[in-house]
Amino acid sequence: MATSASSKLNKAVKQQYMSLPQGEKVQAMYIWIDGSGEGLRCKTKTLDSEPKTIEDLPEWNFDGSSTYQSEGSNSDMYLIPAAMFRDPFRKDPNKLVLCEVLKYNRKPAETNLRYTCKKIMNMVENNHSWFGMEQEYTILGTDGHPFGWPSNGFPGPQGPYYCGVGADKAYGRDIVEAHYRACLYAGVQIYGSNAEVMPAQWEFQIGPCEGIDMGDHLWVARFILHRVCEDFGVVVSFDPKPIAGNWNGAGCHTNFSTKEMREDGGLKVIEESIEKLAKRHRYHIRAYDPKGGLDNARRLTGRHETSSIDEFSAGVANRGASIRIPRSVGQDKKGYFEDRRPSANCDPYAVTEALVRTCLLKEEGDEPANYSK
């Protein structure tokens, strides 16, 4: 199986240098979303002392013409620190810094969806919106072939792989375990992981997170996964349908609740929210993948535990529906619901913002309302 050349370098030699003392200085790795809306970029800055809050971190800049974010003639973009985590690769006191991107005129870059999401979350902060997102992904070799699959064929059909145990069922568990522990170290709100239906496909869950924290924690968890896979010499794919045919796609099922939904009688509020979502299906499909629904069209076929992209549906414990109400929620008459439509490569800021706009701000129609007027 194809693995990267850099993964074959002697890691013991690297460790000699990583164990050297760094004095009072701190390495801060600034992370941002590039112009594709899916890719992540990073670079490192030296700080004179350990930052304690986000306010301790300076703004920075980068060349946007090399990240699909600007033209070469006016390429400076600003990195605005937004969330800070411990660095599981360099370890304490070093930091991972998730940033927003502003253009030369200090306006948000086109793929800086955090900017508006934060405004929307601030409008409904008294509702205490909680989210949990189930991030599915596929491990690939550097040649794009799924990890562990026969080089000239396919593994056995789906069935034994979901939550599977054993070398013939679980492909790449070392990566999963390393990622889980790195997220815990970093302070990412990871709450579970499991092998998925297709071999070499896995899932991790982030949450519960309130408001803007959902997007921050999921993007940093994705960054950590990219870096872990880099160390192992393989590639992580968030493509919603990495292998055509009779194989499951990859989604990012999103669980959502408000304070009212979690209290006694909350099922009525959940059902009212689902009615609002039913009237705004096209808007949500556009928001749920970075290509306005084109990526999800390959996944949401009505087969392989998905709903049809063209129709809205909801049901209790129904994994073939757009919205699933967990059976325990139906019994307790309160709790949360699961939106199964977001694709694995969705932007969590766009997904969580869309849910709040429809369910709490009661927006209607195919376009988001503008509250800046």
Its pTM surpasses 0.85: yes
57 shares its domain with 176: no
Question: What number is the average pLDDT over the span 297-301?
Answer: 94
Domain-located, residue 12 = no
**Is pLDDT of 324 > 70?**
yes
| 229 and 188 within one domain | yes
Condensed to tens digits (0 to 9), the pLDDT of residues 79-110 reads 999 999 999 999 999 999 999 999 999 999 99
**DSSP-based three-state secondary structure for 42:** strand
- Of the residues 111, 144, 178, which one is the last residue of a structural domain? 111
Q: What is the mean pLDDT of residues 344-372?
A: 96
CA distance 270 to 262: 9
pLDDT at 281: 96
Q: Which of 111, 143, 160 is the last residue of a domain?
A: 111
Q: Does residue 143 share a domain with residue 87?
A: no
DSSP assignments along 218-231, one per residue: HHHHHHHHHHHHHH
> In this structure, is residue 367 part of a structural domain?
no
Scanning the chain, the segments in alpha helix (DSSP H) are 11-18, 114-123, 173-186, 213-232, 259-262, 266-278, 281-287, 294-297, 327-332, 348-359
Residue 152's pLDDT is what? 86
Residues 170 and 280 grouped into a single domain: yes
Q: What CATH number has the domain bearing residue 309? A: 3.30.590.10
- The domain total for the chain is 2
Closest C-alpha among 294, 298, 293 to residue 281 = 293
Q: How is residue 161 written in tokens?
A: 């792989």
Going by pLDDT thresholds of 50, 70 and 90, the confidence category of residue 132 is very high
Domain of 55, CATH number, reads: 3.10.20.70
Strand partners, 42: 31
Are residue 29 and residue 133 in the same domain, yes or no?
no
Per-residue b or e along 83-116, where b marks 16 or more CB atoms closer than 10 Å to that residue's CB: bbbbbbbbeebbbbbbbbbbbeeeeebebbbbbb
> Does 281 share its domain with 150?
yes
pLDDT digits (tens, 9 = 90+) for 35-51: 999 999 999 999 999 99
**Residue 100 forms beta bridges with which residues?**
80
Q: Please state, in angstroms and rounded to a whole number, the distance separating the CA atoms of residues 250 and 237.
A: 9
Q: 318 and 190 in one domain?
A: yes
In a domain, residue 351? The reply is: yes
Domain shared by 107 and 182, yes or no: no
Domain stops at, among 76, 93, 111: 111
Instruction: Give the residue-averaged pLDDT of 340-363.
Output: 98
155 upstream amide cis, omega within 30 of 0: no
Question: Do 106 and 132 lie in a common domain?
Answer: no
Indicate if 189 and 164 belong to the same structural domain: yes
Which run of H or E residues covers position 135?
A: strand 130-140
- Provide the residue range defining the domain that includes 316: 121-360
- Indicate whether 18 belongs to any domain: no
Q: Is residue 293 a part of any domain in this protein? A: yes
Whether residues 90 and 144 fall in one domain: no
Is 79 inside any structural domain?
A: yes
pLDDT value, residue 373:
60
Q: Are residues 104 and 126 in the same domain?
A: no
Question: Is 1 within a domain?
Answer: no
Q: Is residue 366 part of a domain?
A: no
